[in-house]
Chain A
């Protein structure tokens, strides 16, 4: 009978903080890039230019429907073949960002689309520049709408970053694979890694709820 034994993998636990750091690094970079690109994508989807609208819509449909794992293989193996050698970390980052941008675009589009057209006209009639209008009128409202779905997308990105393990980025899932292969304690390494991911996801969830209560009150209810 298999004896459950965490003792064996204790020696590998001091490698875990580095792995967690790697997961957080690739996740945070993906989050920052996909927030910027997603906002740009959403503006394209709602632009007056037909070509921009079509390109952004095509991008979203394409990258939402291809598994991230396949994207990672395309960037890592495929690009190398046509002469563009991308390191494993950047392959993971590019693939994750391509995928997350598609989702962020849809989230921001959902936020922008509910702002009535009259507000743009009202802002313009006050002599606001496009940037001022966006910064002081549109964005504060959009942030409230997209707040919860973006929080969920952050979790999806952290969870999705585990896929970069298959091309050897040394993050938590990779830690799990190597500990399992070294010690044959697959069950234990699975439980530890699972726990780490649950902790990370629930921390984001918790911060989202607390921050939301502090910052997202409707104006005038304070």
Chain B
């Protein structure tokens, strides 16, 4: 049985590539969305703060599986738009990642002393200039380690895209299982592949931390 499994390697490797691609997409989109919400969480307006709080709490308390279901079937039937499993999965992953990235961004901005804001404002800098030249570079250093964590979380959540029929690594595993009948070996291989990917990412993150001399 195991010998025939080798014939299915291309399918699994395609799955690995798709998983990497969709989770990367989810992290980038979620990061952009999360940055906006994270800035809202640290703003002076009470309404913005409250909406950011509700947003993060909401998306952290809804299981990713439910979110994938809602983004695929819910939106397709609710708004009569034809969403591909890929689009739905990307939206769901981005929403999920954005809630966590919002926390990372607001903690990163919060780590920079209040005095620097005041100093930058006093020297006549605009909001975006302060963000770009004063707060951003310092906040990014603080944000790197938790962002690696969010990426790994997003990559693991991308396995749920299999439920709505998007062929990534887990779905590839399910397909190979049906074709070969070797459930145990297939899912063991899939599990090991996920482990290798995620462990490499966390090792890479640790290497980056050392490179930029980020204290734990």
Contacts and interface: CB of A to CB of B under 8 A. Distances in A.
A4 B80 CA distance: 12
Contacts of B162: 69
Contacts of A81: 182-184
Contacts of A191: 70, 74
Interface in A147-204: 155, 159-160, 162-163, 165-166, 173, 176-177, 180, 184-187, 190-191, 193-194, 197-198, 200-202
A198 B99 CA distance: 14
B201 to A, nearest CB: 9
A67 B159 contact: yes
B159 A186 contact: no
B170 A67 contact: yes
Most central of A61, A67, A155 by chain B CB within 10 Å: A67
Interface string B182-208: 111001101100110011001000000
A70 B70 contact: no
Contact of A162 (B66, B76, B184): B66
Interface residues of B, number: 43
B77 A77 contact: no
Interface string B46-70: 0000000000011011111111011
B212 interface: no
A107 to B, nearest CB: 14
A194 B70 contact: yes
A66 interface: yes
A78 interface: yes
B102 interface: no
Given A66-B195, A77-B184, A176 B69 contact: yes
Interface of A: 1-2, 4, 61-62, 64-71, 73-74, 77-82, 155, 159-160, 162-163, 165-166, 173, 176-177, 180, 184-187, 190-191, 193-194, 197-198, 200-202
